């Protein structure tokens, strides 16, 4: 791309600025037409759907398992389990390799992991809906801002035309006065 002499100096002419602005607006309109081709969010989109019993259970499991209270309780229970088995010696219900404890913890992980994943998936879906809604609002705000820019440009052009006309009138009056004086 070749630079104009004004662009090389860091300045640009008003015509170049207008042309760039028009190109940018045309590009943004074309982009919006692609985006707005899909249906906008319905009002019920803003309201979260009532969670099902399974979703409420998954949320409760995720909230419980993801708390310090649970970690402290489980760590204490594991410490008591190990201590009780070590102190009972040969008659322990779960001797040293603690196979039963390992089995219990595996069961816990097998059942809590899917519940936590269900809760995370539901939260991701809600976040995606919020992001789509925010995007739609931003597109509408962009349209409003563009309309305001166009109105300001129109008002500026009208004012410039009025000033140009006033300068012409004053120039004509000056010419008439200078002819009368000479």
What gap in Å lies between CA 12 and CA 4, rounded to an integer?
8
Read off the pLDDT of residues 48-67 as tens digits, 9 standing for 90 and up: 778 899 999 999 999 999 89
For 18-62, the DSSP string reads HHHHHHHHHHHHHHHHHHTTSPPPPHHHHSPPPPPHHHHHHHHHH
**Both tokens of residue 151?**
């109105």
User: What pTM was computed for the model?
Assistant: 0.56
Pairwise pLDDT comparison (28 vs 68), residue with the higher score: 68
Task: Give the position of tokens 């019993």.
Answer: 53
């Amino acid at each position: 791309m070749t630079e104009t002499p004004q662009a090389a100096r860091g300045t640009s002419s008003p015509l170049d600025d207008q042309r760039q602005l028009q190109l940018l607006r045309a590009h943004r309109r074309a982009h919006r037409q692609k985006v707005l081709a899909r249906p906008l969010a319905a009002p019920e989109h803003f309201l979260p759907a009532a969670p099902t019993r399974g979703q409420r259970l998954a949320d409760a499991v995720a909230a419980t398992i993801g708390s310090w209270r649970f970690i402290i309780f489980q760590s204490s229970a594991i410490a008591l389990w190990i201590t009780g088995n070590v102190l009972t010696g040969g008659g322990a219900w779960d001797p040293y390799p603690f196979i039963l404890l390992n089995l219990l913890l595996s069961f816990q992980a097998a059942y809590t992991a899917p519940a936590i994943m269900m809760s995370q998936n539901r939260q991701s879906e809600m976040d995606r809906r919020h992001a789509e809604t925010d995007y739609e609002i931003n597109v509408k705000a962009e349209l409003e801002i563009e309309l305001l820019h166009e109105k300001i440009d129109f008002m500026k052009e009208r004012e410039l035309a009025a000033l140009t006309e006033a300068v012409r009138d004053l120039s004509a009056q000056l010419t008439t006065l200078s002819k009368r004086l000479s």
